[in-house]
Amino acid sequence: MNKVNRKSILVGSLSFFIVLFTMPLGHALMILMEHFLTHQQLYYSAFAMGAVGLVLTIVGVFANGDTRQTLFGMFGALLFWTGWIEFGYVYFAHRLDVQPLLNAAGEVITKPEYLMLPSSVGFWVMFMFLYLFSIKSGCDFFNYLQKVFFKKSKTRVEIKPITRNTSLVTFMEMNMILWTSYLLLMFAYDENFLGDRHPVTIGIAVACLIGSFFMMARLIKISSWGYAIRYSIPTVIVFWTFVEVLGRHDVFKEIWVHPLDYKTEMLMILAALVVTLGILLFMSSRKKQRGEQKDIEPDK
């Protein structure tokens, strides 16, 4: 087990904030696109966004370095999820005239596209079966379940990792974790199951907060940029699930839902993302240069 040191704390913390900043910015991007674009422009733009996400991921396949591949996969996943998944549901919700969920005051608390998202649960289960019974991943929870399920199995079952490419792995795992988080929240908010005020829903939020602290404790032991960013993805999304529940209860103002009303704050978040990415790339390049210098033998 790696130990906590100054470098690992810096790498883990910056990686966490890089992923964290993408959460509100992704929400704000959707709001701005819906505000400024016509329906036709919106859907064409969303399709292009998802396509760019796929291209970024493919470029990452051929990129050099674990950190670069991770970043290509992560940003590719974000664009793909927003463009083809979320806006895909926006398109069909609008086309089928699905109405939003309103509260007693007539305010929208759940948009139509998110009301449709739970319909994908069957596909989610299908992917989970693949990951659980056929693929070895870096997820401690999955690894634990695999040990439990196959511990007493008389049939020899080999769980192998899929062909390892960091960009593709990051792309798939980020989409799967986002999908899982959305499904969890949508089913928890649904009055036919629990409801957003139900004690179990509150318990889910608290569990996510506590879980994110445990994950953060492990994250700050990681000194490799690529691995730290990949581990930050589930850490941030678990933490963000807690944030989403707080926002649902109006504990604070979700400024990313109203980006035009909070331009300064959103620009500050964007600037913070750019700065942290710049620090990451600078430190990563310095490490690479030092490695290359060590490989050069001195003249005799």
Q: Read off the tokens for 142.
A: 């999955």
Please name which of 48, 232, 76 lies closest in space to residue 168, comparing C-alpha atoms. 76
pLDDT at 163: 57
C-alpha 196, offset from chain centre = 22
The single-letter code of the amino acid at 104 is: A
Q: Are 181 and 241 in contact (CB under 8 A)?
A: yes
pLDDT per residue, tens digit, the chain (300 aa), is: 468 898 999 999 999 999 999 999 999 999 999 999 998 999 999 999 999 999 999 999 999 889 999 999 999 999 999 999 999 999 999 999 999 999 888 888 999 999 999 999 999 999 998 888 877 776 777 777 778 877 776 555 555 555 578 999 999 999 999 999 999 999 999 999 999 999 999 999 999 999 999 999 999 999 999 999 999 999 999 999 999 999 999 899 999 999 999 999 999 999 999 999 999 888 877 766 665 444 444 443
Task: Give the CB-side neighbour count of residue 297, counting CA atoms within 13 A.
Answer: 2
Instruction: For residues 1 and 162, give the distance between their C-alpha atoms in angstroms, rounded to a whole number.
Output: 24
The dihedral region occupied by 250, where left means phi > 0, alpha psi between -120 and 50, and beta the remainder, is left
pLDDT at 180: 96
DSSP the chain: -PPP-HHHHHHHHHHHHHHHHHHHHHHHHHHHHHHHS-HHHHHHHHHHHHHHHHHHHHHHHT-SSHHHHHHHHHHHHHHHIIIIIIHHHHHHHHHTTPPPEE-TTS-EEE-HHHHHGGGGHHHHHHHHHHHHHHB--S-HHHHHHHHHHHTT-SS----BPPS--HHHHHHHHHHHHHHHHHHHHHHHH-TTT--TTSHHHHHHHHHHHHHHHHHHHHHTT---HHHHHHHHHHHHHHHHHHHHHHHHTTSS--GGGSTTT-HHHHHHHHHHHHHHHHHHHHHHHHHHHHHHHHHSPPP-
Q: Read off the tokens for 14.
A: 């910056």
Place of tokens 């739970």: 118
Digit-coded pLDDT (tens) for 33-71: 999 999 899 999 999 999 999 999 999 999 988 999 999
